[in-house]
Structure 1
C-alpha cells in the first residue's frame, strides 16, 4: 500500500529571516520566485552562460576579500591625511580590485565560451559585435548577460539610444540561440591564452582618467607576472615526458636537479641586490607602495632626536 505522502511534491525549504516573518501572501510570492529562479540556474541549457555570471560574482568577492584588509592596513598606517580621506582610499582600492577581477572573469569565460561555439559552428564571426555590445564592461555586463539568457529586457533593454538598444537586442537574441550545455567541440589548445590576452588588454591594459596606470592594476599584473616567470622557470627544466618544456641541456636530469637546488638562493639574492640598488640610486622608478615601504624601513631609520622616536615612534 502506497502512502499519499510518497507521491506529494517535497515542500520548498523555509525562507530565511526576515522574509519568514513576512505576510503570508508575500512569503508565497517569494517562494514562487525562488522556485522559478532555481529552475533557471539548475537548467543544464543555461549552465555555460551562468558560469560567466558566477565567475563575475566570485571575482568580485575574492577581490574585495583580498584588497580590503591590505588597503585598510596600508592606508591607515602609512598614508597621510584624515581618517575620512584614508577610508575613501580604502573603498576606492577595494572597489577597483573587485570590479576588475569580476570584469576579467567575465571576459575570460565569455571568450572561451564563444570560441567553443565558433569552433562548433553555432556562432558566426559576424555575430560577435552585437554580443560584445550587450556585454559592455562599462554598462553592467553580467546583468545584461542574465537578461540575454532569460530573454528579458534586463539592463540591456533599459533606456539608451535606438542604435544601442537595437544592437543589444541582437546580442540577446544571439545569446538565447547559444543556450545549451556543451559546444560539441573540444577546447582548443590556445583558447585560454587567447581569452587571457583579450581580458588582460581590455581590463588591465588601460589607463585611468589621469592618464596613469592605476596602482591596483599594476600590483595585480606584477603579482601575476612574477608567478608566471616562476612557473615558466620550473617548466623549462622539467623534461617533456614529465609535462615540461624539455629545453636543451637544462632539462637533463642531473642539470635539472642542480638548478632546482640552487636556483632559489641565486634568484633571491639577485632580486634583493637589484631592488636595493634601484632604491638607492633610482627610487622614483620603483612602484610607489614598494618605495614607501622601503623608505620607512631603510631611510627613516637613519633619523631620531630622542628616545621617544628611537624606539616608541618613528617620527
Structure 2
C-alpha cells in the first residue's frame, strides 16, 4: 500500500484526499473552539444540548471546507487536462476552479451546506480579498505610473529611484494610512446601520453588538451583578 503514496499515477487523487483531510482538521479546530466558547459563555440551558450544538457546528464547518477542497482540487486537475487551457494557464484555471467550487459550496445555490457557516466564511474571505486587491492595485500603480515623492530634504524622487528598503517603507506608510481610513469608515457605517436598520446586519454581529452596547436599560443592585460574577 505504501507504494501508492509514491506512485505518480495516484498523485492527483492523493492531493484531493489530502486537501479534504486538511479541510476537515482545520474546520474542526476553528469551529470547535469558537462554538464551545459561544455556547458556554453566552447561552444558557442544559449542558448536553449545548455540547451537541458545538459538535454539530464543528461537523458543518468541517464539511464545508472539506467539500470545497475536494471540488476545487478536482476541478483544477480536470481543467489542466483540457487542451484549450493546459498547465500554462494555471491562474485562469484556479480562478475558474474556485468559482465552480464556491458555486457548489458557498453560494447556497443547491442548499447542500449550512447557510450560516458558508456566509461567515465568505464574509471573512471577502475582507481579506478586499485588502489584498487594494495592495495589488497600489503596487501596479506605483510600478506603471512611477509617481514622485518628496524626501525629508524636500527633493522629488521617482518611485523607481528608491531602493528596496525605501520602497518597502513607503508602501508600509500607505498601507497604514489607508487602513486607518478603512477602519474609520467601516466602524462608522456599522454603528450607523445598527442604529438605522439593524436587521440587515449578520445575526451574530447584531447579537454581539446588542450585548456590548445596548446597556441603557440594564440595572444592577450590587457590584457583583454589575461585573457579572
* Same fold (TM > 0.5): yes
Unaligned runs of 5+ in 2: 150-158, 160-169
Residue 238 in structure 1 maps to residue 202 in structure 2? no
Q: What SS class does the counterpart of residue 90 from structure 2 fall into?
A: coil
Which residue in 2 is equivalent to 1:269? 184
CA 1:240–1:312: 2 relative to 1, 3 Å:
closer
Distance between the aligned counterparts of 2:199 and 2:131, measured in 1?
26
Alignment TM-score, normalising by the size of structure 2: 0.81
1:1-315 maps to which residues of 2 (within 5 A)? 37-119=1-83, 185-206=87-108, 214-239=115-140, 246=144, 252=147, 254=149, 257=171, 259-300=174-215, 302-307=217-222, 308-313=224-229
Stretch moving more, 102-111 or 253-262: 253-262
Q: Deviations over 1:41-92 (max 9, x none)?
A: 2212211221111111111111101110011101221124322221122111
Give 1 or 2 for the bigger CA radius of gyration: 1
Structure 2 contact 64–113 (Cα < 8 Å) conserved: no
1:207 CA displacement? 6.2
Q: Deviations over 1:176-232 (max 9, x none)?
A: xxxxxxx8x4343301100000001101111687x9972111110000111000000
Distance between the aligned counterparts of 2:113 and 2:218, measured in 1?
33
Structure 2 contact 60–114 (Cα < 8 Å) conserved: no
Larger helix proportion of the pair? 2
Q: What SS class does the counterpart of residue 127 from structure 2 fall into?
A: helix
Alignment TM-score, normalising by the size of structure 1: 0.60
1:38 CA displacement? 0.6
Q: Deviations over 1:263-283 (max 9, x none)?
A: 111111111111111112222
Q: How many residues align?
A: 208
Structure 1 contact 207–214 (Cα < 8 Å) conserved: no
Q: Which structure is higher in RCO with an 8 Å CA cutoff and minimum separation 6? A: 1
Unaligned runs of 5+ in 1: 1-36, 122-182
RMSD: 2.7
